[in-house]
Amino acid sequence: MTATTPALPPQAVREARRRFLRSALFGSLAVGAALAGWLPIARRQALHLRPPGALAEDEFLASCIKCGQCVQVCPVEAIVLGDLGEGFGLGVPHIDGRAQACDFSCDAVQCVLACPTGALSHTLNKKEEVRMGLARLDKPDACLARQGLGFKGPARGAAFPGLHRYEEVDRWKPIPLADHPYEVELCDLCVRECPIKDAITLEPIGDDPADKRRTPVVHQPCVGCGMCEMICPTEPAAIVVDARAQWRAA
């Protein structure tokens, strides 16, 4: 190349312009596609149940490095990663309590220990300190206990793949719900399988001692793990967990 740059031929000028436009177009597309991840966040109706120890939602999305180490350590494989529809939540872990609740099979909140960024807060030491949400009796009319009904058979049918650690079966190994049928005079599955002490109780409905109907009542210790939602034998579940809900004295 000489010291004085000769004028470029028109074809080269055209190609340079096109190259610039292509660069601007693809660059904008990449940024636009990435920013479109905001839409599901902005339009979100209901929050996801996040694994134990998750920071406040915005902080959680910011600090999660999307590696799935929490997924790998969970003994009941309750944790799943968000897909493209989650936008910025792509690769961020959540729990679908109805499909597979966190039953604290691991005791020491393994997902929290696995998290490299503290998106699942390392300040947590035991399951009682977890606050994922709160259980709520969503469909009182469907609740078997409120109708005074018992329950017989596997809680969610023979084909349900969900796991639970039954202390009385094996202290360390979770087994399928399908392998653990029940036979109870009055359905108390949500209370029976709740991993947190005093989080939920069955209370009489009326003053009549002969009335065997009971209603599940959620108390302050509830951590929102979703176990009651998974075990509830009605379809859909009578009791559900409101993700991120905080306890308020009634």
Partner 1 sequence: MSLLQSLAVMFGREPTKPPASAYSEAAACLHEAKRANRRSAEERAEVNRQIHERHKVHTWRNRRWLTLLAVNLLFVVSFKFDVQLVEGALTASRVIGFHMADLNSTLQVTLAFKTILINLIIGSMTVLLMWLLLGGRSFCSWTCPYHLLAEMAEALHLKLAAKGLVNDHPLLRGTRTVLWLVFAVLAFATGYTVFETISPTGIVSRALIYGPGVALVVVAVLLVLEVVYTRRLWCRYLCPIGLTYGLVGAVSPLRIAYRPQACHHEGACRKICLVPHVLDCTKKGFAVDVHQGIGADCTRCGLCVDACPTGALKFEVKGLDRLL
Stretch that binds partner 1, among 115-123, 151-159, 211-219, 228-236 (CB under 8 A): 115-123
**CA-derived radius of gyration, the chain:** 26
Query: 147, 111 in Cβ contact below 8 A?
Result: no
Stretch that binds partner 1, among 59-67, 160-168, 209-217, 222-230 (CB under 8 A): 59-67
Is there binding between residue 113 and partner 1 (CB under 8 A)? no
Any alpha helices (H) in 115-185, and if so which ranges?
none
The token pair that represents 154 in the structure block: 């596997």
Any alpha helices (H) in 43-157, and if so which ranges?
57-63, 69-73, 110-114
Is there binding between residue 35 and partner 1 (CB under 8 A)? yes
Is there binding between residue 85 and partner 1 (CB under 8 A)? yes
The token pair that represents 165 in the structure block: 């650690």
Residue from 57, 68, 160, 178 binding partner 1 (CB under 8 A): 68
Residue 186 in 3-state DSSP?
coil
Is there binding between residue 151 and partner 1 (CB under 8 A)? no
Is there binding between residue 7 and partner 1 (CB under 8 A)? no
Count of residues that bind partner 1 according to CB under 8 A: 44
Nearer to partner 1, 25 or 158 (CB): 25
CA atoms within 13 A on the CB side of 212: 9
Residues lying near partner 1 in the complex (CB under 8 A)? 1, 18-20, 22-23, 26-27, 30-31, 33-38, 41, 58-59, 61-69, 71-73, 80-81, 83-85, 87-88, 90-91, 114, 116-118
